[in-house]
Amino acid sequence: MRVLDVHLQLPRDLLGALDVPEEQVERRLREMIAIQLFREGRISSGKAAELLGISKLEFVQLLARHGLSYFSETPGELAAEVRTLERLLESQGK
């Protein structure tokens, strides 16, 4: 993967807002970028995990730690999807 090296200058008091030690700032910013791009639908969860060097499961767990859902559908929408899949499977079995 080709990489782009970016240098940022940030006010030191931003560390308090990030709530991480200075040596973890880069990692935290990478997480924030990956999470936001995933939330906007610009990258997949797999791509976000790859960018962070973690598994897809670890990315889903990262989302949960930040109070974010991996699924964008509501419970009602998910239930409707399940019903649709069940009907399709039943029709294929006949």
Q: Which residues are within 8 A (CB) of 32 and not within 5 positions of it... i.e. 6 or more apart?
A: none
Cut 0.85: pTM above it:
no
Tell me the pLDDT band of 94, cut-offs 50, 70 and 90. Answer: low
What percent helix, strand, coil does the chain show, rounded to 5?
65, 0, 35
Under the banding of pLDDT at 50, 70 and 90, the label for residue 74 is confident
> Which tens digit of pLDDT belongs to each residue from 16-57?
888 888 899 999 999 999 999 999 989 999 999 999 999 999
